[in-house]
Amino acid sequence: MTSKDRVIKQLNFEKTDRVPFNFWMDRRLMADYDRRFGKDFRVTYYGADVIETFPLLAWPAGKGEERDGSFWYTEPAIRDWDEAKNLKWPDPGDEKVLDHILANLREYPDKAIFVNIPGPFTILHGIRLMDNLFFDVYDYPDELHSVIKKIMDIQNEVIKKAVALPITAVYFQDDLASSGGLLFSPRTIEEFILDYFKEGTALAKKAGKHVVFHSDGQVTDILDKLVEAGIDAVNPLQPEFNDFQSFKAKYNGRLGVYGGIDNTKIIPDGTKSEIESHIAYVFEKLGDGGGLIMSSHDIPAHCPHENVEAMVACIKKCRY
């Protein structure tokens, strides 16, 4: 069974030979592993099943800085909504937009290819900064809708082209929650984000592709909305913030998980025995009947190499 077949079956809630997997790390740790094991080490060295790829679009954004292994925006691209007319938007018709996706498809034809599509608030963070957006949804809703529509019109043009290729899934990404719950009300999230995913989701489904959605944090209060929006799986469903048993009881057969693995305590700091118990727990709670692609969020930079080895070895033992 190829990785692509394995992932598709899981997204269809069908059992496979073993649970498919992927994992993410702090960017500094990723760079170290790239040097150790080569480019795309997760699939070439560890045998992971998913390649995440992306269109080459240069979105407008303000100034920022590299810090703690991440890029942080420190200044908005526009300080006043009157300046929005001066924003320079990427051209989805540029012949190079799909170059990275096409290269991954050529190099890894048997892997599941997820095409990352940043959602409107991910793009707007670079344009306005998130703290301004908390006020914009109330003070400038019309201006916000206008820019969001422009963003998603561009994204949908890319999705039209991407789903004509042998990709596996469209992967929308917008961080909407913290450890304590949603950053915005479900109604606000639906109005300003999920409603704008509908066209791209319809394009993907018409082409026979799956749709996955990423948000960090405690996302329980938005899961019904994700199902209504046509999302097939949620990432990462962090175990420290979300109840797996309740999730599986309510959403089995309707919403899968691309994630489930702890990245803050057990994987970086646990013993081999604790890691084995954790991976077995994730598989037991979320793996029954399919619908699971195991993955971590960003494993911190201090994580020992032997813990990553133990994590992957344990995942590969999760067989149906």
Asked whether the predicted pLDDT for residue 70 surpasses 90, the reply is: no
Q: What is the 3-state secondary structure (H, E, C) of the chain?
A: CCHHHHHHHHHCCCCCCECCECCEECHHHHHHHHHHHCCCHHHHCCCCCEEEECCCCCCCCCCEEEECCEEEECCCCCCCHHHHHHCCCCCCCCCCCCHHHHHHHHHCCCCEEEEEEECHHHHHHHHHCHHHHHHHHHHCHHHHHHHHHHHHHHHHHHHHHHCCCCCCEEEEECCCEECCEECCCHHHHHHHHHHHHHHHHHHHHHCCCEEEEECCCCCHHHHHHHHHCCCCEEECCCCCCCCHHHHHHHHCCCCEEEEEECCCCHHHHCCHHHHHHHHHHHHHHHCCCCCEEEEECEECCCCCHHHHHHHHHHHHCCEC
Q: Residue 30 and residue 99: Cα distance in Å, rounded?
A: 22
Per-residue model confidence (pLDDT) at position 67: 87
Q: What is the pLDDT of residue 194?
A: 97
What pLDDT does residue 69 have?
Answer: 81
On the 0-12 / 13-18 / 19+ scale of CB atoms within 10 A, 260 is buried
**pLDDT for 150 beyond 90:** yes
Query: Mean pLDDT over residues 295-303, rounded?
Result: 95
Q: Which of 62-76, 88-102, 213-227 has the lowest mean pLDDT?
A: 62-76
pLDDT of 243 above 90: yes
Task: Evaluate if residue 191 carries a pLDDT over 90.
Answer: yes
| Per-residue tokens: 168 | 């596996």
pLDDT score of 130 more than 90: yes
* Mean of pLDDT over the chain: 96
Determine the pLDDT at residue 256.
Answer: 98
CB atoms near residue 56 (< 10 Å):
13
215 forms beta bridges with: none
Q: Answer whether 212's CB lies under 8 Å from 257's CB.
A: no
Query: Average pLDDT for residues 135-149, to the nearest whole number?
Result: 97
Query: What pLDDT is stored for residue 68 in this prediction?
Result: 83
More confident: 69 or 77: 77
Segment 283-308 mean pLDDT: 96
Average pLDDT over residues 306-315: 98
Q: Of 272, 256, 284, which is closest to residue 312 (Cα–Cα)? A: 272
Please tell me the predicted confidence (pLDDT) of residue 259: 98
Instruction: Give the confidence band of 271 by pLDDT, cuts at 50, 70, 90.
Output: very high
Number of other CB atoms surrounding residue 227 within 10 Å: 15
- pLDDT, one tens digit per residue, over 15-68 is 999 999 999 999 999 999 999 999 999 999 999 999 999 999 999 999 999 888
Query: What is the arithmetic mean of pLDDT over 173-186?
Result: 95
- Comparing 69 with 299, the larger pLDDT belongs to 299
From CA 22, how far away is CA 315, in angstroms rounded? 10
Q: What is the predicted pLDDT for the residue at 71?
A: 87
Q: What is the mean pLDDT of residues 224-246?
A: 96
